[in-house]
Amino acid sequence: MLSTSLFDYNLPDELIARFPAEKRDGSRMMVLDRKTGETEILPFPAIKEFLAPGDALICNNTRVLAGRMYGRKQLPDGTVGAHFELLLLAADDTQSGVWKVMLKPGKRALPGVRVVLSSVDGTPNEFGDAFTVLGKNDDDTYNIKFNLADVDLLQKRYGQIPLPPYLRREAQAADAERYQTVYAHCPGAVAAPTAGLHFTPQILDELRQKGVNVAELTLHVGAGTFLPVSVEDATQHHMHTENFVLPEATAALVNATRADHHKVLAVGTTTVRVLESCAAPDGNVTARTGSTQIFLYPPYQPRAIDLLLTNFHLPKSTLLMLVSCFCQREMVLAAYEKAKAERMRFYSYGDCMLLK
């Protein structure tokens, strides 16, 4: 048994970063020594000091869908009725416009219901864009069919970036850029891989000039990433599934880096989930495309990764448990207490931590 309460801590509400730093690389970075538990707080660009020529930086290139949309039920007489909110999760068939989504209110989302999309302020659309509810799934998601198969266009017309619920605000125009990493180019995520939000093209260029090898993989972050562990025995938690791609070139780089006794830095817990899903006991990774339900918690020891860059995570979360695989739980929570004392900013738009 692993008690979920071991990963609990109290966070003052004012330390939740509800907006990004003024500059993308303007956050602070707490550096945690995994062996001693010692910490120091540095500006984020100092990350360059912890990587040497021959090291590898692996990041997640997923792009967040503008997948929050609104609409009104179309009544038999052509007028509109109940309001609906939907969140795109995954395309079942991109050619036919069938998608798996979350829908509110679920009690009104009966099979056959037709919903006309509208702008955020409720203005009806002029194109007749709509979707029809096909049915409900066992996991409380729904299948719908858009009358227009070009869902990229629908996102441009009606979509919003779906900010995490704990930000407690609607997305603003700036979020369309700031809630994406600068290397995001594979659409499919419900949430951003937030450890990567701190990087700028300049920092990445400077790392490459230094001789650090930068490579990408893809994991489409799902809505399950925000689900708390609700059982007292964390090992009984039902982990969500996320789709990923580990390219041949990235796998080869990780293996070569380790063989040459250089370090592999994983940018974010999503990168960790892919590499560890594909890692053999000796740490070598195999390229593949698939899905993972991997749940990493102590006493698991990472096989393919030497350094982890990550943001500060919610209490009792699977992500905090994952971080505690890299460093003793007590050291991680002590570092969190220091971060609170230093008024560091928490969660998606907050500051970050480097475990070295």
Which domains occur in the chain, in start order?
Answer: 4-64+175-355 (3.40.1780.10), 68-158 (2.40.10.240)
Express each pLDDT in 100-144 by its tens digit: 999 999 889 999 999 999 887 667 688 889 999 999 998 889 999
CA dihedral 207, 252, 310, 194 (to 10 degrees): 90
Express each pLDDT in 148-161 by its tens digit: 989 999 999 999 99
Look at residue 215 in the predicted model and tell me its pLDDT.
98
Binned at pLDDT 50, 70 and 90, residue 343 comes out as: very high
Binned at pLDDT 50, 70 and 90, residue 78 comes out as: confident
pTM: 0.92
Strands 56-60 and 213-219: parallel
Look at residue 153 in the predicted model and tell me its pLDDT.
92
Handedness of CA 148, 153, 157, 163 (dihedral sign): positive
**Contact by Cβ (8 Å): 2, 300:** no
- For residues 315-330, average pLDDT: 96
Identify the CA nearest to 273 among candidates 189, 214, 351.
189
Radius of gyration of the chain, Cα coordinates, nearest whole angstrom: 21
Look at residue 94 in the predicted model and tell me its pLDDT.
64
**91: which residues sit within 8 A by CB, 6+ positions away?**
98, 99, 100, 151
Ranges 76-80, 104-108, 196-200, 250-254: which has the least confidence: 76-80
> Residue 280 corresponds to which tokens in the numbers above?
């053999």
d(CA 98, CA 111): 14
Query: Does residue 92 carry a pLDDT above 90?
Result: no
Express each pLDDT in 35-75 by its tens digit: 999 999 999 999 999 999 999 999 999 999 999 999 999 99
Query: Does residue 179 carry a pLDDT above 90?
Result: yes
CB atoms within 10 A of CB 15: 16
Binned at pLDDT 50, 70 and 90, residue 96 comes out as: confident
> Residue 111 corresponds to which tokens in the numbers above?
């099979």
Write the DSSP symbol of residue 162: -
d(CA 73, CA 63): 30
Identify the CA nearest to 246 among candidates 202, 295, 282, 280.
280
Look at residue 161 in the predicted model and tell me its pLDDT.
95
> Residue 312 corresponds to which tokens in the numbers above?
């500060």
Ranges 123-127, 140-144, 208-212, 229-233: which has the least confidence: 123-127
Look at residue 122 in the predicted model and tell me its pLDDT.
65
- 3-state class of 194 per DSSP? helix
Strands 62-64 and 56-60: unpaired
- For residues 225-245, average pLDDT: 90
Strands 186-189 and 242-246: unpaired
d(CA 230, CA 104): 22
In 83-118, which positions are buried (b, 16+ CB within 10 angstroms) versus exposed (e)?
ebebbbbbbeeeeebbbbbbbeeeeebeeebbbbbb
Strand partners of residue 254: none
- For residues 269-296, average pLDDT: 97
What share of the chain has pLDDT > 90, as a percent? 85
Residue in the structure block whose two tokens are 């059982």: 231
d(CA 57, CA 64): 21
